[in-house]
Structure 1
Amino acid sequence: MKTPKILLVDDEEATLFGYSRFLTKAGYSIETAKSLKEAKSITHGKSFDAVLLDLKLPDGNAIDWIAELKSAHQNTAIIVITGVSDIATAVKAIKLGANNFLTKPLNMEDLNISIKKGLEFEELKKRDFVHQRLNPKNGDPYFGSSPVIEKVIQYANVAAMNHTVVLLCGETGTGKGILARWIHDHSARKNEAFVEVNCSSLKGELLRSELFGHAKGAFTSAIKDRSGLIEVADGGTLFLDEIGDMDLEVQTQLLKTIEEKSYRRIGENKVRTSDFRLICATNRNLTEASNKGTFRKDLYYRINIFPISLPSLRERREDLPGLIKHMLMSFGYDQFPLQQSVIDTLVRYEWPGNIRELRNMLERALLLSQGKSLNCSHFPGLEGSTPLNQDSSTPEVWNLDDLEKLHIVKALKHFGGDKYETSNALGISLSSLYRKLDKMQQHATA
């Protein structure tokens, strides 16, 4: 097995000496450069498995060199070193082709892990096996293999190699919770707790108690001391789903906890600490919410350090055949290939509930098929029609809000007005359905 070659680019002599000494002992072959000019000269005639790159160099900002370096050496892992105040620049570096970023001062073990992950990712990419990072054969979920989802996978790899706050954005049902779990399972905290809290299902005092815990007698029903989930997540990952629905008062306490890694249980003066990694998710536009005052701007800035946007299914229809097959296999279905008419029908549909709705509809189809091969009749409401059963007199291009309204009305009618069944079928929470219905009512009366 060959020794990986690494180029260290930094203008500080002491830093280069420390990195070189540690990485040499870790089994790497090291070369160094103190400027952009020197680094360019070295890489012009020589390739490296990884480049550890400080952005601020005497002769320029190294971010301008990343795209050029990646173009000339496609399978070289680039790990950017940045100050805490340069996170936005580091995220830009990722978009230009860097694999990862680390903030100063560096932890040497984190550096070693980042290099190993970067080398592993580039090797997988070189073999065109990137999509197998999320292959069910490895016990991982399957997300697809389209270019847009592979970019998400790349960002998820970066997130897994760091401890920074991650914000997952996307429509309901796009798989934000699954991706959050994947990031945790591929991080250095994978052997510790993954704690999930849905902020839309708990409000006010209930959410505060769930997060921070409470002391006996703090309120009427507090009959004993109770640990909060922030305490449970110590050493692991805290996943706050639907953080856009969090009350402002709880947002204030959460911001302080994120910044200081300390908190108090409700009704207790003792200050406790928790070393948790935070991942948040939302289907809301938090920029708009912060401008309206329904979400704290300072909290938004604090959690928006490393955002990852998950695309809707209609933005990656090429992934649908693979997703359908993998979901059916997970339900024990083995009668492949599916009829092309079934695939065509499902690919044409808009999927406003995204992956969650797809899974629910496939599960319902299997129940209707009673062990027989799937056909279009097992997808009531979809067979032989374009999305939403629109007729030829309707426009070919629909406004997405109108599509969602029509689909919700159709689903409610199908379930006889049962909102609980409707929300399950659509793959959204009951509170989300009520919120959408309220919005529809407001528009109708406006």
Structure 2
Amino acid sequence: MSNAPHRDKILIVEDEEIIRVSLRKLLERHDYDVSDVVSIKAASENVDFKQFALIISDLRLPGQLGTDLIKMVDPVPVLIMTSYASLRSAVDTMRQGAVDYISKPFDHDEMLLSVRRILSASRHRAVAAKTLGDIALLGSSEAIKKITRVIPKVAASDLPILIQGETGSGKSALALAIHNGKKSTRQRFININCAGLKEAEFASQLDVSSSSTTVFLNNIAELEASLQPLLLRAMQNSQCRFICSSDQDLEKLCKANLFRKDLYYEIDVVSIAMPTMRQRSADISVIIQEILTHFDDVSSGLTEDAAQALIDYHWPGNLRQLKNTLQQAVILASPGEPIDAELIGLGEITPSPTQVTRHLSAGSIDQRITQDYDAPAGLSLEDYFTRFVLENQENMSETDLAKKLGISRKSLWERRNKLGISRKKGDESLSD
């Protein structure tokens, strides 16, 4: 029995006995481990939702709607069953977070297909959630060695820590590593995303913190101005450890009166800069291998071209983008076949600074990107982009600019915002 393969556990919540029994038998015939209850109340009293990989519920149950389960069981996915008459309301309630709906009476093949799809997606999401933390501190580059050396030094300290770095670089993983440091005696880790945070929610989370708690304030630059005094008081009076992260320059925000200076000084006692993928490109190979070990359906690895493409690219989204790119490639790959460069799909990602410099120095700039533009040698990627856009935007639409640069319009817009390059008011006609 110990060698039996793992079976996904599914809970059925359905008050109609014929449907409940029929669905249970169908799923058990296909080797799922199935439990069933007649109501949400019965489920709450008799089962542990966390043990299930999927919950299938009727929309209309005695006393409650099946969609009430969505928040109760999060992050377990919920599949809603609905009669034809209530199909419209089922579609509307998908906005509440149900992963799918299926009409009753259901087709057996359709139900099995939906269950397999949901469980597969859930497994990949679980891998996605796990791997970013696992890979963030991997590698032997000097950039990451500096980070790993500092972790044990600050783990036991009560001093506030500010982790700065680009989106997707692993700031949350570093915060958790500090919390879990060998000398740390803190038992609880509260992760608060400051973007869109409400005062009541924020106050309640701060109230439960204690001397054995680490409070991690992710995206601290997004904290509403009205909540900043509340955080300042908490940091001055609480015994818990505060770690903050930001992908923006807080000092510049202070000068622009967009962030409180006294709060910034309270936060920025110990400052750690999380390196970008561009600063630790030597770690990419080992990170790739570690990510792929988390996917059971990878049997043949990467082709040489695919591996080189991953190493060569700029990765503006850093570790998160690298992980997501590999995850997508794994899903699309044919069983038993290696992942090739086409599946990696890096065509719209800006080349790395090293590649751009190599092209410039050789006097053979990629014609797809720089046709009709004579770029001087020695420009950085940002300088190159800025100069090209400023010199061509009056005569080219956004679509044409993006095409010449070899990126998507979305990437062009994001890079414009990052570098502060806006179109002049007279250029709207070219924005298409």
Q: TM-score range by the shorter chain?
A: 0.5 to 0.7
Q: Deviations over 1:345-382 (max 9, x none)?
A: 11111100000110111101111113321111112243
When structure 1 is superposed on structure 2, of 374-383 and 392-401 the one drifting more is 392-401
Aligned twin of 2:313: 349
Aligned twin of 2:88: none
Aligned twin of 1:198: 193
Letter in structure 2 aligned against 1:345:
A
Cα distance in structure 2, aligned partners of 1:327 and 1:298: 41
Question: Aligned match of 1:256 in 233, 237, 252?
Answer: 233
Corresponding pairs, count? 262
Letter in structure 1 aligned against 2:422:
H
Aligned twin of 1:151: 146
Cα distance in structure 1, aligned partners of 2:233 and 2:261: 14
Question: Aligned match of 1:240 in 217, 226, 231?
Answer: 217
Aligned twin of 1:229: 205
Residue aligned with 1:318, SS: helix
Aligned twin of 1:210: 201
Is 1:379 the counterpart of 2:344? The answer is yes
Say what the alpha-carbon RMSD is for the aligned residues: 3.8
Question: Aligned match of 1:443 in 412, 422, 426?
Answer: 422
Answer whether contact 1:314 1:350 (CA < 8 A) is retained: yes
* TM-score relative to the length of structure 2: 0.53
Aligned twin of 1:312: 276
Is 1:322 the counterpart of 2:286? The answer is yes
C-alpha displacement of 1:187: 5.3
Question: Aligned match of 1:178 in 173, 192, 215?
Answer: 173
Q: Evaluate the alpha carbon distance shift between residue 230 and residue 306 of structure 1 in structure 2; reply closer, same or farther with a 3 A threshold.
A: same
Aligned twin of 1:129: none
Q: Deviations over 1:43-93 (max 9, x none)?
A: xxxxxxxxxxxxxxxxxxxxxxxxxxxxxxxxxxxxxxxxxxxxxxxxxxx
Mapping for residues 36-55 of structure 1, pairs under 5 Å: none
* TM-score relative to the length of structure 1: 0.51
Aligned twin of 1:278: 242
Mapping for residues 330-349 of structure 1, pairs under 5 Å: 330-332=294-296, 335=299, 338-349=302-313
Cα distance in structure 2, aligned partners of 1:384 and 1:285: 25
Cα distance in structure 1, aligned partners of 2:291 and 2:136: 10
When structure 1 is superposed on structure 2, of 362-371 and 326-335 the one drifting more is 326-335
C-alpha displacement of 1:232: 2.8
Q: Evaluate the alpha carbon distance shift between residue 442 and residue 146 of structure 1 in structure 2; reply closer, same or farther with a 3 A threshold.
A: closer
Answer whether contact 1:199 1:246 (CA < 8 A) is retained: yes
When structure 1 is superposed on structure 2, of 381-390 and 192-201 the one drifting more is 381-390
C-alpha displacement of 1:238: 0.5
Residue aligned with 2:422, SS: helix
Residue aligned with 1:186, SS: coil
Q: Evaluate the alpha carbon distance shift between residue 191 and residue 441 of structure 1 in structure 2; reply closer, same or farther with a 3 A threshold.
A: closer
Question: Aligned match of 1:293 in 257, 260, 272?
Answer: 257
Aligned twin of 1:25: none
Give unpaired runs (5+ residues) of structure 2: 1-130, 357-364, 390-397, 426-432
Cα distance in structure 2, aligned partners of 1:335 and 1:175: 27
Give unpaired runs (5+ residues) of structure 1: 1-135, 213-227, 262-274, 427-432
Letter in structure 2 aligned against 1:248:
A
Answer whether contact 1:338 1:374 (CA < 8 A) is retained: yes
C-alpha displacement of 1:146: 0.5
Residue aligned with 1:257, SS: helix
Q: Evaluate the alpha carbon distance shift between residue 354 and residue 233 of structure 1 in structure 2; reply closer, same or farther with a 3 A threshold.
A: same
Q: Evaluate the alpha carbon distance shift between residue 337 and residue 361 of structure 1 in structure 2; reply closer, same or farther with a 3 A threshold.
A: closer
Aligned twin of 2:126: none
Q: Evaluate the alpha carbon distance shift between residue 170 and residue 384 of structure 1 in structure 2; reply closer, same or farther with a 3 A threshold.
A: closer
Answer whether contact 1:237 1:277 (CA < 8 A) is retained: yes
Cα distance in structure 2, aligned partners of 1:277 and 1:173: 23
Q: Deviations over 1:393-432 (max 9, x none)?
A: 625755338769999968xx999x9xxxx8xxx9xxxxxx
Q: Deviations over 1:269-320 (max 9, x none)?
A: xxxxxx3210000001111111111111111111111110011101111111
